[in-house]
Amino acid sequence: MSFNSFGKLLKITTFGESHGPMIGCVIDGFPAGMEITVEEIKTELLRRATGKSRHTSQRKEKDDVKIVSGVFEGVTTGMPIALLIENTDARSKDYSEIKDQFRPGHADYTYWHKFGIRDYRGGGRSSARETTMRVAAGALAKKWLKLHFNIEATAWLAQLGSVVIDKVDLKEKENNPFFCPNTTQIQELEAYMDALRKSGDSVGANIAVQAINVPVGLGEPVYGKLDADIASAMMSINATKGVEIGAGFESVSQNGSVHRDEIVDGKFQSNHAGGILGGISSGQDVLVNVAFKPTSSLRLPAKSVDKFGNNVTVVTKGRHDPCVGIRAVPIVESMLALVLMDHILRNNALCGKY
Ligand code: EPS
Protein backbone atom coordinates (compact mmCIF):
# COMPACT_ATOMS: atom_id res chain seq x y z
CA MET A 1 0.00 0.00 0.00
CA SER A 2 1.47 3.29 -1.04
CA PHE A 3 0.15 6.80 -1.37
CA ASN A 4 2.93 8.74 -2.98
CA SER A 5 1.10 9.10 -6.29
CA PHE A 6 -1.83 11.19 -7.48
CA GLY A 7 -3.82 11.56 -10.69
CA LYS A 8 -5.60 8.91 -12.77
CA LEU A 9 -4.53 9.17 -16.43
CA LEU A 10 -1.71 11.58 -15.68
CA LYS A 11 -0.08 9.98 -12.66
CA ILE A 12 2.58 11.73 -10.61
CA THR A 13 4.70 9.83 -8.11
CA THR A 14 7.22 11.65 -5.93
CA PHE A 15 9.97 10.18 -3.76
CA GLY A 16 12.83 11.31 -1.58
CA GLU A 17 13.39 13.14 1.69
CA SER A 18 14.61 16.63 2.52
CA HIS A 19 18.01 15.33 3.71
CA GLY A 20 18.32 12.22 1.54
CA PRO A 21 20.77 12.11 -1.38
CA MET A 22 18.11 13.10 -3.91
CA ILE A 23 14.46 13.69 -4.60
CA GLY A 24 12.58 12.71 -7.71
CA CYS A 25 9.32 12.08 -9.51
CA VAL A 26 7.84 9.91 -12.21
CA ILE A 27 5.21 11.43 -14.50
CA ASP A 28 3.30 8.60 -16.12
CA GLY A 29 0.74 9.08 -18.88
CA PHE A 30 2.17 12.29 -20.27
CA PRO A 31 1.29 12.43 -23.99
CA ALA A 32 4.05 12.04 -26.58
CA GLY A 33 5.22 14.87 -28.78
CA MET A 34 5.74 17.91 -26.52
CA GLU A 35 9.09 19.68 -26.59
CA ILE A 36 10.55 20.24 -23.13
CA THR A 37 13.95 21.39 -21.86
CA VAL A 38 15.68 21.28 -18.51
CA GLU A 39 15.80 25.10 -18.60
CA GLU A 40 12.00 25.35 -18.83
CA ILE A 41 11.60 23.14 -15.76
CA LYS A 42 14.36 25.04 -13.95
CA THR A 43 12.59 28.37 -14.52
CA GLU A 44 9.62 27.09 -12.53
CA LEU A 45 11.85 25.51 -9.87
CA LEU A 46 13.63 28.81 -9.29
CA ARG A 47 10.33 30.52 -8.53
CA ARG A 48 9.81 28.09 -5.62
CA ALA A 49 13.41 27.88 -4.42
CA THR A 50 14.66 28.82 -0.96
CA GLY A 51 17.31 31.47 -0.35
CA LYS A 52 16.12 34.03 -2.91
CA SER A 53 15.34 36.67 -0.29
CA ARG A 54 15.80 37.15 3.46
CA HIS A 55 12.14 36.22 3.91
CA THR A 56 12.56 32.51 3.14
CA SER A 57 14.74 29.64 4.35
CA GLN A 58 18.43 30.27 3.62
CA ARG A 59 19.12 26.68 2.53
CA LYS A 60 20.70 27.02 -0.91
CA GLU A 61 19.73 24.17 -3.22
CA LYS A 62 20.71 24.45 -6.87
CA ASP A 63 17.75 22.32 -7.94
CA ASP A 64 19.61 21.18 -11.05
CA VAL A 65 17.00 18.85 -12.44
CA LYS A 66 17.94 15.85 -14.60
CA ILE A 67 15.51 14.31 -17.07
CA VAL A 68 16.40 10.62 -16.92
CA SER A 69 13.65 9.07 -19.02
CA GLY A 70 10.60 9.75 -21.20
CA VAL A 71 12.19 12.53 -23.26
CA PHE A 72 14.19 11.84 -26.43
CA GLU A 73 15.88 14.59 -28.42
CA GLY A 74 13.99 17.16 -26.38
CA VAL A 75 10.51 15.69 -27.02
CA THR A 76 8.26 13.67 -24.69
CA THR A 77 7.99 10.05 -25.91
CA GLY A 78 4.83 8.90 -24.10
CA MET A 79 6.97 6.80 -21.75
CA PRO A 80 7.25 7.54 -18.02
CA ILE A 81 9.14 10.79 -17.49
CA ALA A 82 11.52 10.52 -14.53
CA LEU A 83 13.08 13.65 -13.02
CA LEU A 84 15.83 13.73 -10.38
CA ILE A 85 17.32 16.49 -8.23
CA GLU A 86 20.26 16.04 -5.88
CA ASN A 87 20.07 17.52 -2.39
CA THR A 88 23.34 19.40 -2.01
CA ASP A 89 22.86 21.70 0.98
CA ALA A 90 21.17 19.67 3.73
CA ARG A 91 22.58 20.29 7.24
CA SER A 92 21.33 17.38 9.30
CA LYS A 93 23.36 18.33 12.38
CA ASP A 94 20.98 21.28 12.93
CA TYR A 95 18.46 18.66 13.98
CA SER A 96 20.63 16.59 16.34
CA GLU A 97 19.26 18.28 19.49
CA ILE A 98 15.66 17.44 18.60
CA LYS A 99 16.32 13.97 17.26
CA ASP A 100 14.13 12.38 19.95
CA GLN A 101 11.74 15.31 20.39
CA PHE A 102 8.57 16.40 18.64
CA ARG A 103 8.00 19.95 17.48
CA PRO A 104 4.48 20.99 18.50
CA GLY A 105 2.41 21.52 15.36
CA HIS A 106 4.77 19.38 13.25
CA ALA A 107 4.19 16.11 11.41
CA ASP A 108 7.13 14.53 13.23
CA TYR A 109 4.70 13.62 16.08
CA THR A 110 2.28 11.68 13.87
CA TYR A 111 4.97 10.14 11.63
CA TRP A 112 6.63 8.68 14.75
CA HIS A 113 3.38 7.33 16.16
CA LYS A 114 2.38 5.82 12.83
CA PHE A 115 5.70 4.39 11.58
CA GLY A 116 7.79 4.09 14.76
CA ILE A 117 10.77 5.59 12.91
CA ARG A 118 12.13 9.04 13.68
CA ASP A 119 14.03 10.34 10.63
CA TYR A 120 14.93 13.53 12.44
CA ARG A 121 16.90 15.07 9.55
CA GLY A 122 14.78 17.96 8.35
CA GLY A 123 11.13 17.22 7.87
CA GLY A 124 11.79 14.11 5.74
CA ARG A 125 8.79 13.62 3.46
CA SER A 126 6.80 16.23 5.40
CA SER A 127 9.32 18.94 4.46
CA ALA A 128 8.56 21.65 1.92
CA ARG A 129 11.45 20.08 0.00
CA GLU A 130 9.02 17.41 -1.29
CA THR A 131 7.08 20.10 -3.14
CA THR A 132 10.03 20.67 -5.48
CA MET A 133 9.01 17.69 -7.59
CA ARG A 134 5.40 18.85 -7.79
CA VAL A 135 6.67 22.06 -9.36
CA ALA A 136 8.97 20.13 -11.73
CA ALA A 137 6.03 17.99 -12.91
CA GLY A 138 3.82 21.07 -12.96
CA ALA A 139 6.19 22.78 -15.41
CA LEU A 140 5.36 20.13 -18.02
CA ALA A 141 1.61 20.25 -17.32
CA LYS A 142 1.56 24.05 -17.50
CA LYS A 143 3.29 24.00 -20.86
CA TRP A 144 0.93 21.33 -22.26
CA LEU A 145 -2.19 23.19 -21.05
CA LYS A 146 -0.99 26.46 -22.58
CA LEU A 147 -0.07 24.81 -25.91
CA HIS A 148 -3.31 22.91 -26.38
CA PHE A 149 -5.94 25.02 -24.56
CA ASN A 150 -4.32 28.34 -23.75
CA ILE A 151 -5.07 27.45 -20.12
CA GLU A 152 -2.97 29.36 -17.58
CA ALA A 153 -2.83 28.56 -13.85
CA THR A 154 -1.67 31.64 -11.94
CA ALA A 155 -1.34 32.10 -8.19
CA TRP A 156 -0.58 35.05 -5.94
CA LEU A 157 -0.35 36.06 -2.31
CA ALA A 158 -3.81 37.07 -1.10
CA GLN A 159 -2.98 37.46 2.62
CA LEU A 160 0.12 37.10 4.79
CA GLY A 161 -0.62 37.03 8.51
CA SER A 162 -2.83 40.05 9.15
CA VAL A 163 -1.85 41.81 5.91
CA VAL A 164 -4.69 41.42 3.41
CA ILE A 165 -3.67 42.23 -0.16
CA ASP A 166 -6.24 44.73 -1.31
CA LYS A 167 -5.51 45.05 -5.03
CA VAL A 168 -4.68 42.42 -7.62
CA ASP A 169 -2.47 43.46 -10.53
CA LEU A 170 -1.08 40.17 -11.79
CA LYS A 171 1.64 41.87 -13.87
CA GLU A 172 3.36 42.86 -10.62
CA LYS A 173 3.42 39.63 -8.66
CA GLU A 174 6.68 38.22 -10.05
CA ASN A 175 8.58 41.45 -9.31
CA ASN A 176 8.83 41.09 -5.52
CA PRO A 177 9.83 38.36 -3.02
CA PHE A 178 6.23 37.78 -1.89
CA PHE A 179 4.40 37.11 -5.18
CA CYS A 180 2.33 40.09 -4.09
CA PRO A 181 0.10 41.52 -6.82
CA ASN A 182 -0.05 44.99 -5.22
CA THR A 183 3.19 47.02 -5.32
CA THR A 184 1.90 49.55 -2.79
CA GLN A 185 1.90 46.89 -0.04
CA ILE A 186 5.44 45.54 -0.52
CA GLN A 187 6.96 47.84 2.11
CA GLU A 188 4.32 46.81 4.62
CA LEU A 189 5.09 43.13 3.91
CA GLU A 190 8.85 43.72 4.24
CA ALA A 191 8.37 45.39 7.64
CA TYR A 192 5.94 42.72 8.79
CA MET A 193 8.30 39.89 7.84
CA ASP A 194 11.38 41.61 9.30
CA ALA A 195 9.62 42.04 12.66
CA LEU A 196 8.36 38.47 12.54
CA ARG A 197 11.80 37.03 11.80
CA LYS A 198 13.33 39.07 14.59
CA SER A 199 10.74 37.75 17.03
CA GLY A 200 11.57 34.16 16.01
CA ASP A 201 7.94 33.43 15.16
CA SER A 202 6.18 32.34 11.97
CA VAL A 203 2.89 33.11 10.28
CA GLY A 204 0.38 31.65 7.81
CA ALA A 205 -0.78 32.81 4.40
CA ASN A 206 -3.70 32.64 1.99
CA ILE A 207 -2.69 31.88 -1.59
CA ALA A 208 -5.19 32.51 -4.38
CA VAL A 209 -4.96 30.59 -7.63
CA GLN A 210 -6.98 30.86 -10.82
CA ALA A 211 -7.06 28.94 -14.07
CA ILE A 212 -8.25 30.77 -17.16
CA ASN A 213 -9.55 29.33 -20.46
CA VAL A 214 -10.70 26.11 -18.80
CA PRO A 215 -13.20 24.39 -21.11
CA VAL A 216 -16.66 23.42 -19.88
CA GLY A 217 -17.09 19.76 -18.92
CA LEU A 218 -14.06 18.70 -16.85
CA GLY A 219 -14.90 16.56 -13.80
CA GLU A 220 -16.75 13.28 -13.32
CA PRO A 221 -19.78 12.99 -11.04
CA VAL A 222 -19.89 11.93 -8.35
CA TYR A 223 -16.58 10.60 -6.98
CA GLY A 224 -14.33 12.24 -9.53
CA LYS A 225 -15.54 15.80 -9.21
CA LEU A 226 -13.12 18.45 -10.38
CA ASP A 227 -13.46 20.47 -7.16
CA ALA A 228 -12.94 17.36 -5.02
CA ASP A 229 -9.76 16.50 -6.91
CA ILE A 230 -8.50 20.09 -6.67
CA ALA A 231 -9.20 20.14 -2.92
CA SER A 232 -7.42 16.81 -2.48
CA ALA A 233 -4.40 18.01 -4.48
CA MET A 234 -4.15 21.24 -2.49
CA MET A 235 -4.64 19.51 0.87
CA SER A 236 -1.80 17.14 -0.02
CA ILE A 237 0.67 20.05 0.01
CA ASN A 238 2.57 20.00 3.29
CA ALA A 239 1.28 22.82 5.58
CA THR A 240 -2.11 23.29 3.87
CA LYS A 241 -4.94 23.74 6.35
CA GLY A 242 -7.84 24.88 4.18
CA VAL A 243 -9.12 25.04 0.61
CA GLU A 244 -11.95 27.17 -0.74
CA ILE A 245 -13.49 26.93 -4.21
CA GLY A 246 -15.04 30.20 -5.40
CA ALA A 247 -16.95 31.91 -2.61
CA GLY A 248 -15.96 29.02 -0.32
CA PHE A 249 -16.96 29.63 3.30
CA GLU A 250 -18.47 32.97 2.36
CA SER A 251 -21.26 30.89 0.76
CA VAL A 252 -22.50 30.19 4.29
CA SER A 253 -23.77 33.74 4.77
CA GLN A 254 -24.75 34.42 1.15
CA ASN A 255 -28.36 34.21 0.01
CA GLY A 256 -29.09 32.01 -2.98
CA SER A 257 -30.13 35.08 -4.93
CA VAL A 258 -26.61 36.44 -4.43
CA HIS A 259 -24.59 33.24 -4.69
CA ARG A 260 -26.13 32.02 -7.95
CA ASP A 261 -24.20 33.24 -10.95
CA GLU A 262 -26.80 34.65 -13.32
CA ILE A 263 -26.37 34.14 -17.06
CA VAL A 264 -27.18 36.87 -19.60
CA ASP A 265 -26.70 36.35 -23.34
CA GLY A 266 -24.67 33.21 -22.56
CA LYS A 267 -22.36 35.05 -20.13
CA PHE A 268 -22.08 34.45 -16.40
CA GLN A 269 -22.52 37.72 -14.49
CA SER A 270 -20.45 36.64 -11.44
CA ASN A 271 -18.33 33.67 -10.33
CA HIS A 272 -19.24 32.59 -6.82
CA ALA A 273 -19.10 28.98 -7.98
CA GLY A 274 -15.40 29.32 -8.72
CA GLY A 275 -15.93 27.94 -12.22
CA ILE A 276 -17.26 24.56 -11.07
CA LEU A 277 -20.93 23.46 -10.94
CA GLY A 278 -21.85 19.96 -9.77
CA GLY A 279 -18.18 19.03 -9.80
CA ILE A 280 -17.86 19.92 -13.51
CA SER A 281 -16.06 22.97 -14.92
CA SER A 282 -18.52 25.57 -16.22
CA GLY A 283 -16.16 27.32 -18.62
CA GLN A 284 -15.63 30.17 -16.16
CA ASP A 285 -12.26 30.75 -14.53
CA VAL A 286 -11.52 28.17 -11.83
CA LEU A 287 -10.94 30.08 -8.58
CA VAL A 288 -9.34 28.50 -5.51
CA ASN A 289 -7.87 29.78 -2.24
CA VAL A 290 -5.49 27.74 -0.11
CA ALA A 291 -4.69 28.43 3.57
CA PHE A 292 -1.16 27.63 4.76
CA LYS A 293 -0.40 27.24 8.45
CA PRO A 294 2.52 28.98 10.18
CA THR A 295 5.68 26.87 10.11
CA SER A 296 6.20 24.89 13.32
CA SER A 297 10.02 24.84 13.32
CA LEU A 298 10.68 27.78 15.67
CA ARG A 299 13.61 28.86 17.78
CA LEU A 300 11.08 30.02 20.41
CA PRO A 301 11.02 27.38 23.19
CA ALA A 302 7.86 25.25 23.32
CA LYS A 303 6.53 22.57 25.65
CA SER A 304 6.41 19.10 24.16
CA VAL A 305 7.34 15.47 24.77
CA ASP A 306 10.11 13.23 23.47
CA LYS A 307 9.68 9.76 22.02
CA PHE A 308 10.18 8.23 25.48
CA GLY A 309 7.22 10.22 26.86
CA ASN A 310 9.27 12.75 28.88
CA ASN A 311 8.21 16.39 29.05
CA VAL A 312 10.75 18.53 27.18
CA THR A 313 11.30 22.08 25.98
CA VAL A 314 11.85 22.11 22.23
CA VAL A 315 13.94 24.69 20.44
CA THR A 316 14.38 24.19 16.69
CA LYS A 317 17.57 25.38 15.09
CA GLY A 318 18.41 25.48 11.40
CA ARG A 319 17.10 27.28 8.36
CA HIS A 320 13.35 27.62 8.17
CA ASP A 321 10.68 29.64 6.40
CA PRO A 322 9.00 32.20 8.65
CA CYS A 323 6.09 32.01 6.19
CA VAL A 324 6.16 28.90 4.04
CA GLY A 325 3.01 30.13 2.29
CA ILE A 326 5.07 32.61 0.25
CA ARG A 327 6.88 29.84 -1.61
CA ALA A 328 3.61 27.96 -2.06
CA VAL A 329 2.61 30.17 -5.00
CA PRO A 330 4.31 28.05 -7.72
CA ILE A 331 3.28 24.89 -5.88
CA VAL A 332 -0.46 25.60 -5.98
CA GLU A 333 -0.18 26.66 -9.64
CA SER A 334 1.48 23.32 -10.39
CA MET A 335 -1.07 21.26 -8.48
CA LEU A 336 -3.94 23.00 -10.25
CA ALA A 337 -2.28 22.49 -13.64
CA LEU A 338 -1.65 18.79 -12.95
CA VAL A 339 -5.26 18.20 -11.85
CA LEU A 340 -6.65 20.07 -14.88
CA MET A 341 -4.44 18.15 -17.29
CA ASP A 342 -5.44 14.83 -15.74
CA HIS A 343 -9.09 15.84 -16.09
CA ILE A 344 -8.67 16.83 -19.73
CA LEU A 345 -7.24 13.39 -20.48
CA ARG A 346 -10.10 11.82 -18.49
CA ASN A 347 -12.68 13.89 -20.35
CA ASN A 348 -11.22 12.65 -23.60
CA ALA A 349 -11.50 9.06 -22.40
CA LEU A 350 -15.09 9.46 -21.16
CA CYS A 351 -16.63 11.82 -23.70
CA GLY A 352 -14.17 11.71 -26.60
CA LYS A 353 -13.49 15.44 -26.27
CA TYR A 354 -10.03 16.92 -26.05
C1 EPS B 1 11.93 23.23 5.75
C2 EPS B 1 13.13 23.47 6.36
C3 EPS B 1 14.31 23.72 5.56
C4 EPS B 1 13.86 24.40 4.29
C5 EPS B 1 13.00 23.43 3.56
C6 EPS B 1 11.73 23.35 4.30
O7 EPS B 1 14.96 22.55 5.15
P8 EPS B 1 15.68 21.48 6.06
O9 EPS B 1 15.44 21.80 7.48
O10 EPS B 1 15.04 20.18 5.68
O11 EPS B 1 17.11 21.54 5.71
O12 EPS B 1 14.92 24.92 3.61
O13 EPS B 1 12.74 23.78 2.24
C14 EPS B 1 13.52 23.36 1.25
C15 EPS B 1 14.74 22.88 1.41
C16 EPS B 1 12.91 23.48 -0.08
O17 EPS B 1 13.56 23.21 -1.09
O18 EPS B 1 11.71 23.84 -0.11
C19 EPS B 1 10.79 22.85 6.55
O20 EPS B 1 10.87 22.97 7.79
O21 EPS B 1 9.76 22.44 6.00
Given a cut of 80, whether residue 216 has pLDDT beyond it is yes
89: buried, middle or exposed (CB in 10 Å: 19+, 13-18, 0-12)? middle
CATH of the domain at 170: 3.60.150.10
Q: Kindly give the distance from the C-alpha atom of residue 90 to the centroid of ligand 1, in angstroms, as a whole number.
A: 8
Helix (H, G, I), strand (E, B) or coil at 152: strand
Any ligand 1 atom below 6 A from CB of 56: no
- For ligand 1, atom 19, the nearest C-alpha belongs to 127
Q: Kindly give the distance from the C-alpha atom of residue 61 to the centroid of ligand 1, in angstroms, as a whole number.
A: 10
- Start-to-end Cα distance in the chain: 33
Any ligand 1 atom below 6 A from CB of 129: yes
Average pLDDT for residues 39-64, to the nearest whole number? Answer: 97
Confidence of residue 353 (pLDDT cuts 50, 70, 90): confident
Q: Report pLDDT for 180.
A: 98
> Looking at ligand 1, which atom is closest to the CA of residue 58?
12
Average pLDDT for residues 70-82, to the nearest whole number? Answer: 98
The residue to mutate among 50, 62, 98, 324, having the most atoms of ligand 1 within 8 angstroms of its beta carbon, is 50
Average pLDDT for residues 75-91, to the nearest whole number? Answer: 98
Residue ranges making up the domain that contains 305: 5-351
Given a cut of 90, whether residue 1 has pLDDT beyond it is no
**In the chain, pLDDT over 70 holds for what percent of residues?**
100
- CA 181 – CA 168 distance, rounded (Å): 5
Angle at 87 between CA 6 and CA 4, to 5 degrees: 15
- For ligand 1, atom 10, the nearest C-alpha belongs to 122
Q: Kindly give the distance from the C-alpha atom of residue 222 to the centroid of ligand 1, in angstroms, as a whole number.
A: 37
pLDDT digits (tens, 9 = 90+) for 233-268: 999 999 999 999 999 999 999 999 999 999 999 999
For the chain, the domain total comes to 1
The answer to whether residues 277 and 246 touch, using CB atoms and an 8 Å cutoff, is: no
Any ligand 1 atom below 6 A from CB of 127: yes
The answer to whether residues 36 and 76 touch, using CB atoms and an 8 Å cutoff, is: yes
55: buried, middle or exposed (CB in 10 Å: 19+, 13-18, 0-12)? buried
**In the chain, pLDDT over 90 holds for what percent of residues?**
97
- CA 48 – CA 112 distance, rounded (Å): 28
